[in-house]
Chains A and B, each alone.
Chain A
Amino acid sequence: MQDPETERNAARRRWMGILARASGAEIAGRLAAAPALPAHRRLRGPETGLVMARGRQGGDGAPFNLGEVTVTRCSVCLEDGRIGHAYVAGRDARQAELAAVLDAALQDPARQPALLAAVVEPLATFQAARAAKDAARAAATRVQFFTMATMR
């Protein structure tokens, strides 16, 4: 049995990830069919900057700087004091702001079910389908190297 805090964080991590992978236009398209978002104030941003992405080879390799990623971040505050944050890759300020407002609104138990059903779940389905299609296209070009091993 997990404690409720961990469960809430896992749910929040999931919707933040889905919103970060959706473009501003996709989120806005879904919002048209959703209940209206509450009014918000910008606390910070949206502003674009660079984040150093670090990588490591395998599980025990030494960390190294892979390169800089353009990241846009935004933090907003709703009238009830709930705060939403968004960090998204790229320069889409509209996406960052919408994602931050949604993050704040999704923390409200009264708004959460409707917004999850109208915005987050359709985006998740769409992203899963897109990932499966990309994987299928990549799989068609896969080369099996076992023949090379048996030639000798």
Chain B
Amino acid sequence: MNAPLTPGFAEPVLDAQRCFRAVLEAMARPGRVQALPALPEAPAPLAPAAAAVLLTLADADTPVWLDAGEAAAAWLRFHAGCPIAASAAEATFALAGGVPPALRDLSQGTEEEPHRSATLLVQVAALAEGGGWRLTGPGIEREHRLLAAGLPAGFEAEWAANHARFPRGVDVILCAGDRLAALPRTTRLEAG
């Protein structure tokens, strides 16, 4: 018998709307950490915030790639009804619990349709404002500080290359526990 399924959002419509609002706030104010008010009961390797974002945004039209194992994929297929992509390159949403795939390997969109690019969700060990990276760009008045623990060492260089591909490029949502922060492709990032 396969691993038992767990419930998704307690209030599927309202909770997804609350989560969508939090993702919207996070994207509009890069580097500001948002706490999600409603969380699903996600299977083990999935962070609650990452699971909530996928339940909110993924559907039958968005292939999802994830490295969190068969139980998490089955849970997501059941609750979101999304196809599971065989490789990160084919995915609209990619979720990395371990080492994230290289940003350049994900779908970048096209010059005509940059919105067709992928969104990468990375589960990090911790998120904190007030230290770490200095973020500047649209949605930030002077600068925001964001500390994300547990990302691979070359992430800043990869992010600079991703930023340079604008309007193409990947958006990143960092998730830790029940909190998330977003790095849209317009954000410039300097190591603090």
Interface residues of A (CB under 8 A from B): 41-44, 47, 75, 77, 81, 83
Q: Are A44 and B79 in contact, with the CB atoms below 8 A?
A: yes
- How far in angstroms is the closest Cβ of chain B from A113? 21
Interface SS of B by simple majority: loop
List the B side residues contacting A81 at CB < 8 Å.
1, 4
Given A44-B78, A44-B79, residue A77 in contact with residue B12 (CB < 8 A): no
Number of cross-chain contacts by CB at 8 Å? 23
Instruction: Give the top 5 A-B pairs by smallest Cβ distance, nearest first.
Output: A81-B4, A43-B7, A43-B5, A77-B4, A77-B5
| Binary interface encoding of chain B residues 74-99 relative to chain A, with 1 for a CB under 8 A from any of its CBs, else 0 | 00001100000000000000000000
Q: A41-B7, A43-B6 are in contact. List 18 more A-B contacts (CB 8 A).
A: A42-B7, A43-B5, A43-B7, A43-B8, A43-B78, A44-B7, A44-B8, A44-B12, A44-B79, A47-B12, A75-B5, A75-B78, A77-B4, A77-B5, A81-B1, A81-B4, A83-B4, A83-B5
Interchain CA distance A77-B4 in the complex, whole Å:
8
The total of chain B residues at the interface (CB under 8 A) is: 9
List the A side residues contacting B7 at CB < 8 Å.
41-44, 77
Interchain CA distance A83-B12 in the complex, whole Å:
19
A-B contact pairs, 13 of them (CB 8 A): A42-B7, A43-B5, A43-B6, A43-B8, A43-B78, A44-B7, A44-B78, A44-B79, A47-B12, A75-B78, A77-B6, A81-B4, A83-B5
Interchain CA distance A42-B6 in the complex, whole Å:
9
Interchain CA distance A75-B78 in the complex, whole Å:
10
Interface residues of B (CB under 8 A from A): 1, 4-8, 12, 78-79
Most buried by B among A42, A44, A47: A44
Interchain CA distance A41-B79 in the complex, whole Å:
15
- How far in angstroms is the closest Cβ of chain B from A58? 31
- How far in angstroms is the closest Cβ of chain B from A152? 57
Residue of B nearest to A80 (CB): B4
- How far in angstroms is the closest Cβ of chain B from A140? 47
- How far in angstroms is the closest Cβ of chain B from A40? 11
Interchain CA distance A47-B7 in the complex, whole Å:
14
List the A side residues contacting B1 at CB < 8 Å.
81
Interchain CA distance A41-B12 in the complex, whole Å:
15
Interchain CA distance A43-B78 in the complex, whole Å:
10
- How far in angstroms is the closest Cβ of chain A from B55? 11
List the A side residues contacting B12 at CB < 8 Å.
44, 47
- How far in angstroms is the closest Cβ of chain A from B122? 28
List the B side residues contacting A41 at CB < 8 Å.
7
Interchain CA distance A42-B11 in the complex, whole Å:
12
List the A side residues contacting B8 at CB < 8 Å.
43-44
Residue of B nearest to A45 (CB): B12
List the A side residues contacting B6 at CB < 8 Å.
43, 77
- How far in angstroms is the closest Cβ of chain A from B74? 11
- How far in angstroms is the closest Cβ of chain B from A47? 7
Interchain CA distance A43-B1 in the complex, whole Å:
17
- How far in angstroms is the closest Cβ of chain A from B5? 5
